[in-house]
Amino acid sequence: MMERIDSIDLFRGFAILQMIFWQIFDFFARVDIYSDVPYYIPFFNMPIHGMGVAFFAFISGTSAYIALSGKLNKNAGKSDIIWHLIKRYGGYVLLSLFFTTFVFGFKTFYIWNEAVQGIGLATLVAALVILLFRSKFVLAALSLLIILVQPFLRQFLEKSFLIQTFPEYPASFDIVSNSVSLFLNFTLRGFFSLSNLLPIALTGMILSYLLVKLKQEKVIRISLAIGMAITSISIFLHFLINKIDYYNRSASYLIFYIGISFLLFSLVGYISQKLRKNQLVGVLILFGKTSLFAYIIHYLLIYKLLKVLNYESIFGSLISYLFAVISIIVIYYICRIWLLNRHAIFSRIKSCLGHY
């Protein structure tokens, strides 16, 4: 089994930390980070934490390919690999079904508007693509094709006939309509649909090619060069023909996020080499190792529990920052305890299930 790569955990830790910090701040604060400046960034029509999900999709694609190549090197059969991928990343979707329904309600899951379900499905599909083709050029071409085509397909789905026949929200007692609507939601319409996250996950797999074959120092340099080139292209497109637009999911927005993801990896790769024993780096790595757990915990402890107690949107910005920091510290220690004891917990669960 391939050893964990610190730069991947560091990348993932940064992504989850900035994501849950701003969501906790938004929960407590009277301001709305989704629409109020400076937390909302008009230049990109984007909330301040908008990059978090893209970073996750990118690094999930990277991690999936590294795990996949490890199994291929051990001559594992395709059917075994596919079943492993379905259990792991399909499990994220199943987890999201229960988690999202409990916290937000089933409609949020149905319209594909929760991050875990989107990242899980996008990573699963990206892994199946690489299992079939095993070519970084195919990954790049397919990613670019989806980026360019998805805005037009989404506009087509907004036609009145399609919306009336297959609405975005579930229609009562119509299995066929609901099934087609759910398919359209997770492929195109949902904010965390394949059209949004699959191109990012596919390009994350291109990074994993470099990590598997090259030394880290060279990967950092190449990732920096790729990131600068792609980000520059997106900025050029933004001013010329196609604005970077998070909420409307423009083509240049996806290109921008891919470029920024490569740039971030070059930065965290450098940090992981130079500041390996730094305490902050250790905190980020721990969050990276427990990212899914941290994400779920912050919603259960903050959103669900404190919402019931009516603590939502009642504080000014300064106090909300303070509560966000305190919450992150609490979540960190919960994640630390979980990381140290998870194997024992899983063993006890299996033992209990074995009695039934």
Reported as type and span, the H/E element at residue 331 is helix 317-354
Torsion sign over Cα 29, 318, 295, 227: positive
Reported as type and span, the H/E element at residue 47 is strand 46-47
Q: How far apart are CA 74 and CA 134, in angstroms?
A: 16
* Residue 348: predicted pLDDT: 66
Confidence of residue 222 (pLDDT cuts 50, 70, 90): very high
pTM confidence score: 0.90
Contacts 24+ apart (CB under 8 A), 74-82: 78/131, 81/131, 82/128, 82/131
pLDDT exceeds cutoff 70 at 345: no
Cα–Cα distances in angstroms (integers) from residue 310 to residues 16, 296, 302, 313, in the given order: 25, 20, 11, 9
Residue 164: count of CB within 10 angstroms of its CB: 8
* Residue 89: predicted pLDDT: 92
What six digits make up the tokens of 242? 């196609």
| Interval 273-327: pLDDT, tens | 888 778 888 899 999 999 999 999 998 888 888 887 888 889 999 999 999 999 9
What six digits make up the tokens of 89? 């990343």
Residue 194: count of CB within 10 angstroms of its CB: 21
| Interval 4-43: pLDDT, tens | 788 899 999 999 999 999 999 999 999 999 999 999 999 9
Confidence of residue 50 (pLDDT cuts 50, 70, 90): confident
Q: How far apart are CA 129 and CA 266, in angstroms?
A: 25
| Interval 172-213: pLDDT, tens | 777 888 899 999 999 999 999 999 999 999 999 989 888 888
Confidence of residue 346 (pLDDT cuts 50, 70, 90): low
pLDDT exceeds cutoff 70 at 350: no
Quickly tell me which residue has 């993801």 as its tokens: 261
Among left, alpha and beta (phi > 0; psi -120 to 50; other), residue 135 is beta
Pairing of strands 46-47, 40-41: antiparallel
Residues 26, 222: contact at Cβ < 8 Å?
no
